[in-house]
Chains A and B, each alone.
Chain A
């Protein structure tokens, strides 16, 4: 992450953390600007994985909702095998349209589903992105649950994802 994007990220996350009255998981996801001839917005899956590599909580799934494009969901290979194939899309609060390049902030209430169902333990937040006529990439950020103290984690994508920052606020 560049110094500039770190500052930007802190600025974005700070008011959110301040506002939070209940514990939350906040995620800043950067979808990179790619100088390619044919660009399509990536499909992105974001989930929480437990030690058995199964999906403990699905957080977000962005795909081309308009039209009939669910046939490409298995291209999110890790998400698909870990349990995505059992998700009957669309799902309220989980699925949504693909998003453009830039920073995207997602916030999840720790006391609400799906996070409220997590048992105490070590988890990994996983982000996987795949782009039509492009590549596929997954990044992981480990964290502890429940949120006893503030936790911060970062990952840096190389191709399909940019900087990813995770903040757990008690």
Chain B
């Protein structure tokens, strides 16, 4: 197995959060005048923002909701070598929340001295992990990689109430260079305080320094970001705790990534 194959194999079984490559969605457009059009998204895991030069992000768990909160089915979903892509038809006005979201259990144990691994939904856990598994380690991994597109006027982003999420005070499709935007982070629906949030501008290939903005949420889970320049930004936050919401599991990783577009004044 060469190094690349090993990396892909690891990617399949390792929590995304602990893997180096950054997970991101790239929308072709974030502000659209009226309904009736299409927006295309790329989905990839790569350290360079936003160059798909490492690996495609699986988009099996795509979750898209429209302005009224109802689910919208993406079309032309394709998995390439370096990126996945899909189209979204914008049939109605409002804010579309586009996410690759997952809530899975990862398990490692030993069977007859051999290491075993399993990854799946909490519901399938009992059927796939032997009751007498030795050195069993289980972890819940909640992950949300998302971006936002607004047709016409923005509509509210509502809390999901599970895992780590961003609930904006300033709408994510209303961001401008030089202006401050406030975002609240929630963990299981409650303010995530003292959470480290990293924000990096796109175009990392074209500069020497990563120039990451490192922020920390206050007691209300809030951060305030003043955007230094227009462009696409990638935001990441992650929590590791012992508050898994799956029965019989203790360890939990909750990760959140977002792609945000900041416009010139």
Partner-contacting stretch, out of A13-21, A79-87, A104-112: A79-87
Q: B27-54: which have CB < 8 Å to A?
A: 31-34, 37
Closest residue to A69 on the B side, CB-wise?
A: B33
What does DSSP make chain A's interface, helix, strand, loop or mixed? helix
* Cβ-defined contact, B264 with A77, below 8 A: yes
Residues in B with CB closer than 8 Å to A73 are 33
Chain B residues with Cβ below 8 Å from A95 are none
Is there contact, CB below 8 Å, between B34 and A77?
A: no
Size of B's binding interface in residues, CB under 8 A: 12
Are A74 and B153 in contact, CB atoms less than 8 angstroms apart?
no
**How far is the CB of A77 from the nearest CB of chain B, in Å?**
6
Assembled-state Cα–Cα distance A23/B152 (Å): 35
- A85 adjacent to B174 (CB under 8 Å): no
Q: B265 — which chain A residues lie within 8 A by C-beta? A: 78
In the bound complex, CA of A136 to CA of B265 (Å) = 10
**A85, B263: Cβ atoms closer than 8 Å:** no
Query: Measured between alpha carbons, how far is A136 from B174 in the docked complex, in Å?
Result: 18
Chain B residues within 8 Å of A, Cβ to Cβ: 31-34, 37, 152-153, 174, 176, 263-265
- B31 with A80: CB separation less than 8 A: yes
Minimum CB–CB distance for B231 against chain A, Å: 14
Contact of B34 among A70, A78, A136 (CB under 8 A): A70
Say which residue of A77, A85, A136 sits within 8 Å of B152 (CB atoms): A85
Could you pull out 23 A-B pairs where Cβ atoms are within 8 angstroms?
Answer: A70-B33, A70-B34, A71-B32, A71-B33, A71-B34, A71-B37, A72-B33, A73-B33, A74-B31, A74-B32, A74-B33, A77-B263, A77-B264, A78-B265, A80-B31, A81-B174, A81-B176, A85-B33, A85-B152, A85-B153, A86-B152, A86-B153, A136-B264
Complex Cα gap A81–B176 (Å): 10
Return chain B residues, CB-CB under 8 Å to A78. 265
A72 to B29, CA, bound (A): 12
Residues of A within 8 A of B34 (CB): 70-71
Chain B neighbourhood of A70, CB < 8 A: 33-34
* Distance A71 CA – B265 CA, assembled complex (angstroms): 20
Q: How far is the CA of A70 from the CA of B153 in the complex (A)?
A: 15
Report chain A residues within 8 Å CB of B37: 71
- Give the residues from 52 to 109 in chain A that come closer than 8 angstroms, CB to CB, to chain B: 70-74, 77-78, 80-81, 85-86
By a beta-carbon cutoff of 8 Å, the part of chain A in contact with chain B is 70-74, 77-78, 80-81, 85-86, 136
Measured between beta carbons, the chain B residues less than 8 angstroms from A136 are: 264
CB neighbours (8 Å) of B174 from chain A are 81
Question: How near does chain B come to A2, taking the closest CB pair, in angstroms?
Answer: 28
CB distance from A100 to the nearest CB of B (A): 24
Separation of A77 and B168 alpha carbons in the complex (Å): 21
- In the bound complex, residues from chain B placing their C-beta under 8 Å from that of A71 are 32-34, 37
Q: How far is the CB of B88 from chain A (nearest CB, A)?
A: 16
* Residue from the set A70, A72, A74 with the largest chain B CB neighbour count within 10 Å: A74
List residues of chain B with CB within 8 A of the CB of A72.
33
8 other contacts beyond A77-B264, A85-B33, with CB at 8 A cut-off?
Answer: A70-B33, A71-B37, A73-B33, A74-B31, A74-B33, A80-B31, A85-B152, A136-B264
Contacts of B153 in A (CB 8 A): 85-86
User: How far is it, in angstroms, between the C-alpha of A95 and the C-alpha of B248 when the chains are bound?
Assistant: 63
Closest beta carbon of chain B to A68's beta carbon, Å: 10
| Cα of A110 to Cα of B108 in the assembled complex, Å | 75
Task: Provide the residues of chain A in CB contact with B264, threshold 8 Å.
Answer: 77, 136
CB nearest neighbor in A for B264: A77
CA distance A85 to B152 in the complex (A): 5
Q: State in angstroms the CA–CA spacing of A77 and B265 once bound together.
A: 8
A129 to chain B, nearest CB (A): 14
A73, B151: Cα distance in complex, Å: 12
Please name all residues of chain B whose beta carbon is closer than 8 Å to the beta carbon of A80 when the two chains form the complex.
31
